[in-house]
A = this chain, B = another copy of it.
Amino acid sequence: MRPPDPRAERTRSSALASARELLVEQGLAGLTHGAVAARSGVSRATLYRHWPEPADLVCDAVAWHIEAVRPEPTGDLRADLLAELSATHAMLHEPVMEQAMRVIIERAGVDPRFAEVKVSLHRSGTGAVRAILADAIARAELPAELDIDLAVDQLHGPLFFRRLVAHRTFDLDYVRRVIDQFLSSHRPEIQRPQGHS
């Protein structure tokens, strides 16, 4: 494998930074090859070579946003889940990211390209939580038989449901309660913070 070409990396970063700005300023409708070329100075030909369809740019731009706000895990299960889901909380309350997620959910139902985008975003968006849970299992802080897919749904699901389906905002106290109830159902020996007996 060749090492990455630094100039190609710079071009890619510049294009994605512009794509991300456009997504935040104008939503998906503004994220076209022409607009990214005009803002980044990267040629349309290069953009089309890297990202043949707008859905590819959307995917990388949103994935870049997910990476940019990703906290470093510390090895403290509760603190790491809280940091990660706080980033999800921030994304669900950032107007354009929120709308981008709504659009991707809708388009994925009818457009296979967007369905791929969504699968890819779901993978990168939940990857950190999967890693945190796997590490906690390795440290014997969670049961070895934990179903990580189900755990991801139990942690992310309430947040997405409240913001995108119930159409309500929520605060970090809500995030803490989702995490604490998740932990209490899998680590019953630990004192419950909610006082449920």
Contacts and interface: CB of A to CB of B under 8 A. Distances in A.
Nearest to A184: B185
B98 A109 contact: yes
B108 A105 contact: no
A102 B98 contact: no
A71 B56 CA distance: 43
A157 B166 CA distance: 10
Interface string A41-78: 00000000000000000000000000000000000000
B154 A181 contact: yes
19 contacts: A102-B108, A105-B106, A106-B106, A115-B167, A118-B167, A119-B167, A122-B165, A145-B196, A150-B158, A153-B178, A154-B158, A156-B157, A157-B157, A157-B158, A158-B158, A161-B161, A185-B196, A186-B196, A188-B188
A153 B162 contact: yes
Interface residues of A, number: 46
A119 B158 CA distance: 16
A108, A150, A166, most chain B CB atoms within 10 A: A166
A178 to B, nearest CB: 7
Number of copies: 2
A176 to B, nearest CB: 11
Given A105-B102, A196-B186, A197-B143, A161 B153 contact: yes
Interface string A94-125: 00001100110111111000010011001000
Contacts of A197: 143, 188
Contacts of A159: 157
A159 B110 CA distance: 20
A154 B107 CA distance: 26
A147 interface: yes
A106 B103 contact: yes
